[in-house]
């Protein structure tokens, strides 16, 4: 009896009623939830929805440009903000995972607050919160949870004083995807694997540098493209490469090498709370390993993570 068409109709009517001529600011992440929330709000209030998409320099290779283009194509009123250098400079030298997360949360707040101030007369903050986020009170998709836990110096930033509108608050992930599909959102967005807000910073162990980000982006893009080519991307719940700051000996031609390790992670899961490692076919792993070692400068060894959650987690941080 639950149909996405009925949900869309009632939600848009409610949003129109609640928001009238008000302005809403919303942070897009490239993920499923914020994208679906944005399209619903856009259909309700048009250009009174102001979307902000921040490039923290920790996204997948070329993802910022591609996703921004896609959003513009969808007709969203969106502003992209290149804040790569701000994030990287605040991460410099930080090795501890919690300190890295805090720095990223802090810079995000600053950047987003600046951008929100440019929307004159804004009254609302739109968020892609879904039902599991509400019940678990952890937001795996929005910045809000991180913001609340990390921003306790100097009072709340202004955008957090806005009224909050969360059109997906009653939905589960599969329902969000169905609504997204009915709204005509591209499968590339709807089928995207979950990706953590702090991005590649928590897939680089230890301190983050521009050079390590570039190496990881290259290795990760080879991995993801090969999964897609093998028809496995949609069967895996989440996959990504991890940069390990250890060096090991290898040989390349007649030369001895002493370079870093890339670890591949792929898991099956329903909600990320528990996860099993995927039994990817050996020929696919072999191809990915060869390609990474041959093409990614600075990497001479690839390993595969065969740990499940619990007791391991999905991310390495």
> Residue 75 annotated as binding?
no
Site for ligand XMP in 145-164 (CB under 6 A): 146
Q: Does 227 bind ligand XMP (CB under 6 A)?
A: no
Count how many Cα atoms sit within 13 Å of the Cα of residue 62 in the half-sphere of its side chain.
9
The first and second tokens of residue 212, run together, are 């390590």
Return d(Cα 315, Cα 254) in angstroms, integer.
Answer: 36
* Residue closer to ligand XMP, measured from CB, 235 or 295: 235
Peptide bond into 310 cis (omega under 30): yes
> Residue 139 annotated as binding?
no
Which of 197, 213, 217, 222 touches ligand XMP by CB under 6 A?
A: 197
Rounded least distance, CB 45 to ligand XMP, Å: 26
DSSP string, 58-123: -SSTTHHHHHHHHHHHTT--EEEEE-HHHHHHHHTT--SHHHHHHHHHHHHHHHHHHHHHTSTTEE
Q: Does 313 bind ligand XMP (CB under 6 A)?
A: yes
> Residue 31 annotated as binding?
yes
Q: Does 140 bind ligand XMP (CB under 6 A)?
A: yes
Which of 127, 141, 217, 289 touches ligand XMP by CB under 6 A?
A: 141
Handedness of CA 293, 296, 300, 302 (dihedral sign): negative
Residue position matching structure tokens 């209030």: 45
Site for ligand XMP in 49-78 (CB under 6 A): none
Q: Does 30 bind ligand XMP (CB under 6 A)?
A: no
User: Given the rule CB under 6 A, which of 14-22, 114-122, 138-146, 258-266 is the region that contacts ligand XMP?
Assistant: 138-146
Provide the Cα torsion 150, 239, 37, 186; round to 10°.
150
Q: With CB under 6 A as the rule, give the number of residues binding ligand XMP.
A: 13
- Footprint of ligand XMP on this chain (CB under 6 A)? 140-141, 146, 194, 196-198, 238, 272, 309, 313-315
């Amino acid at each position: 009896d639950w149909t996405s068409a009925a949900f869309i109709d009632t939600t848009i009517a409610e949003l129109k009623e609640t928001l009238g001529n008000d302005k809403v600011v919303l942070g897009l992440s490239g993920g499923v939830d914020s994208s679906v929330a944005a399209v619903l709000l856009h259909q309700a209030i048009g250009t009174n929805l102001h979307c902000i998409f921040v490039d923290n320099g920790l996204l997948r290779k070329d993802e910022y440009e591609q996703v921004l283009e896609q959003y513009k194509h969808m007709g969203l009123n969106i502003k992209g903000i290149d804040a790569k250098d701000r994030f990287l400079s605040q991460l410099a030298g930080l090795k501890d995972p919690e300190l890295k997360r805090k720095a990223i949360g802090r810079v995000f707040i600053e950047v987003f607050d600046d951008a929100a101030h440019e929307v004159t007369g804004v009254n609302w903050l739109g968020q892609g919160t879904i039902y599991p986020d509400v019940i678990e009170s952890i937001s795996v998709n929005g910045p809000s949870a991180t913001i609340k836990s990390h921003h306790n110096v100097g009072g709340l930033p202004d955008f957090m004083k806005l009224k909050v509108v969360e059109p997906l608050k009653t939905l589960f992930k599969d329902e969000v995807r169905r609504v997204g599909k009915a709204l005509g959102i591209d499968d590339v967005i709807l089928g995207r694997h979950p990706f953590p807000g702090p991005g590649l910073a928590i897939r680089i162990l230890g301190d983050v540098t521009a050079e390590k980000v570039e190496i990881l982006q290259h290795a990760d893009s080879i991995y993801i493209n090969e999964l897609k080519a093998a028809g496995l991307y949609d069967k895996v719940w989440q996959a990504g490469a991890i940069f390990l700051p250890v060096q090991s000996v290898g040989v390349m031609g007649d030369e001895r090498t002493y370079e870093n390790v890339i670890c591949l992670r792929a898991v099956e899961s329903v909600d990320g709370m528990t996860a099993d490692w995927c039994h990817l076919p050996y020929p696919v792993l072999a191809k990915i390993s060869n390609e990474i070692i041959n093409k990614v400068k600075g990497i001479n060894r690839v390993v595969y993570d065969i740990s499940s959650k619990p007791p391991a987690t999905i991310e390495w941080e």
